[in-house]
Chain A
Amino acid sequence: AAGVIQSPRHLIKEKRETATLKCYPIPRHDTVYWYQQGPGQDPQFLISFYEKMQSDKGSIPDRFSAQQFSDYHSELNMSSLELGDSALYFCASSPALLARDSQGVTDTQYFGPGTRLTVL
């Protein structure tokens, strides 16, 4: 079965540079979530999109922005990178509201493999 695709898998940047992370959700999933996992930390919610509109916002720095496109893929844009931005960035997708699994749940989030960003 198709899974969430994230690219690139690894990215090395210098301080003050910019980075763009991409997420391709599972087909027919219309909701995308972004999470950041620092070294030895639990994943922290950054931002989410539903039907190409921002649906929720967490602890996302103002230097970061994101959007969801007409094909439902999402991009996380990061500017003025800092050493502390080094982390694993996960994207997760969940099905459209009309799609339900065997337990009637619409919102199981399926995680991608992550993009490991290293800021030097």
Chain B
Amino acid sequence: AQSVTQLGSHVSVSEGALVLLRCNYSSSVPPYLFWYVQYPNQGLQLLLKYTSAATLVKGINGFEAEFKKSETSFHLTKPSAHMSDAAEYFCAVSFPNDKIIFGKGTRLHILP
């Protein structure tokens, strides 16, 4: 069965600094991988997805993630954090036409 592990339930970065949110997956075969963002009291917005095409995936709001099979990782990065990036971020795994399994989430705090 597939699963995802997000390292760090809370991450704080200064405004303008690099954002790095870590995600490792477990799956017997390469799955589809996603990052979702959830702002307070709002729904889930898809940031980006990996579906076995390019290993470096660019998403919305300047975020990108790199699929590394050897490390079973799919870390999310953004070169320069903005205050508006403060939110909960979920890494998720799925197979085609199947349910999504979410990680526990990482709350990103942006320090002024």
Chain A residues within CB distance 8 Å of chain B: 31, 33, 35, 41-45, 48, 50, 56, 58, 90, 92, 94, 97, 103-114, 116
On whether the beta carbons of B97 and A42 are closer than 8 Å, the reply is no
Output the nearest chain A residue to B107 by Cβ-Cβ distance. Answer: A40
Chain B residues within CB distance 8 Å of chain A: 32, 36, 41-46, 49, 51, 53, 90, 94, 96-105
On whether the beta carbons of B44 and A111 are closer than 8 Å, the reply is yes
In the complex the two chains form, what is the Cα distance from A58 to B1 in whole Å?
13
On whether the beta carbons of B97 and A94 are closer than 8 Å, the reply is yes
In the complex the two chains form, what is the Cα distance from A65 to B20 in whole Å?
40
6 interchain residue pairs of minimum CB distance: A45-B99, A42-B102, A111-B44, A113-B43, A107-B97, A105-B51
On whether the beta carbons of B46 and A110 are closer than 8 Å, the reply is yes
In the complex the two chains form, what is the Cα distance from A58 to B94 in whole Å?
14
Contact of A42 among B41, B46, B90 (CB under 8 A): B90
On whether the beta carbons of B100 and A109 are closer than 8 Å, the reply is yes
In the complex the two chains form, what is the Cα distance from A50 to B98 in whole Å?
11
Contact of B98 among A104, A105, A107, A114 (CB under 8 A): A107
B103 surroundings in chain A (CB, below 8 A): 42
With known contacts A43-B90, A105-B49, A105-B51, A113–B42 Cβ distance under 8 A? yes
A44-B102, A90-B44, A111-B36 provided; 7 other pairs, C-beta below 8 A? Answer: A42-B104, A43-B90, A43-B102, A94-B97, A103-B51, A104-B51, A111-B44
